[in-house]
Amino acid sequence: MYQNTALEINEQNLQQVIEQSMQTPVVISFWAPSMPETLEVNATLEKLAREYQGQFILASLNCETQQMVASQFGVRGLPTVALFKDGQPADGSAGPQTEQTLREMLTRHLPSQEELALKQALVLVDNKEYAQALPQLRQLSAQLPNDSLVKLAIAECLIETALFDEAEPILATIPMQDQDAQYKGLVAKLELHKQAGNSPEIQQLERKLAADPDNVELRYELAVQYSQVNRNEEALELLIAILRKDMNFSDGNAKKTMMDILAALGQGNPIAASYRRQLYSLMY
């Protein structure tokens, strides 16, 4: 005997099932125990429901025992499959269905794998788990290179993890129509960082170094100041120049400062990767 594992619709739960489509698409299979072709469609839909793992709700309506409910849908023949979304019928078809045609219907209305991955990554961003979200978003940016939502999420993660140098060029690629409140907020944060990172002390050191470019002590002092305000790429450039001349400058403090910056930036950071290679080539 056929065992239906889908949600069975009746007069009592009909409205509730339709309302569920406001959050998750609902696929309804109209079937009858006496019609083998409807059982085949049910079996295929149940297979797809397991495969799609909650991306849609599978419901079924036995048209022999629930004739009054079936009449409300205007079903003319069996099997019939209907997809509801946002409380309204969005798609469907009558007659025998192949797995391929059912997949095509689902594809038209269900989020893509990229959209699902983005949704998961944005949950991490909302929970301020920026370090965990960033690698997922970077992977998505390769698949969705022109998606402003992905770019803004990456920029937010970079700013919140003090990777300001990477965030600025990403924000520069956001088209005018996508420069929303989130974009403006991120630009404002970046501007505040720039102001904090260009203190009078730093400006004075920059002027001194410009007047005395061979002064390694000044170069190291400025690198330390840069690192303290997360101007990491500029700090690394000064430090690698020092280490090319003297790996043990300041009793090894220059090398330690550089390694500390690289460790803070992490393994996945492309700027860190570049300078890490340069440092290792000097060390080994």
The pLDDT tens digits along the chain (284 residues) read 344 568 999 999 999 999 999 999 999 999 999 999 999 999 999 999 999 999 999 999 999 999 999 999 999 899 999 999 999 999 999 999 999 999 999 999 998 889 889 999 999 999 999 989 999 999 999 999 999 999 999 999 999 988 888 999 999 999 999 999 999 999 998 888 887 778 889 999 999 999 999 999 999 999 999 988 888 999 999 999 999 999 999 999 999 999 999 988 878 788 899 999 999 999 88
Nearest alpha-carbon partner for 86 in 143, 21, 34: 21
Which CATH number fits the domain 7-109, given the four candidates 3.40.50.10470, 2.30.30.190, 3.20.20.70, 3.40.30.10?
3.40.30.10
pLDDT at 283: 86
pLDDT reported for residue 203: 92
Compute CA 152 distance to the chain's CA centroid, rounded to the nearest angstrom: 10
How far apart are the C-alpha atoms of 160 and 137, rounded to whole Å?
14
Architecture of the domain delimited by 113-196: Alpha Horseshoe (1.25)
Give the start-to-end residue ranges of the domains of the chain: 7-109, 113-196, 200-283
Give the per-residue pLDDT at 5. Answer: 67
Instruction: For the sheet with 80-85, list strands across it.
Output: 7-8, 57-62, 26-31, 80-85, 88-94
Quick one: pLDDT at residue 18? 97
The whole-number pLDDT of residue 4 equals: 52
Contact 182, 156 (CB under 8 A): yes
Cα(146)–Cα(150) distance, integer angstroms: 8
- Report the candidate in 93, 113, 117, 87 with the shortest Cα–Cα distance to residue 105: 93
pTM: 0.57
The CA-based angle 165-171-174, given to 5 degrees, is 160
Burial class (CB in 10 A: 0-12, 13-18, 19+), 271: middle
- The answer to whether the 7-109 and 113-196 domains have the same CATH topology is no
Q: Which fold has domain 200-283?
A: 1.25.40
In this structure, the number of other CB atoms found within 10 A of the CB of residue 152 comes to 22
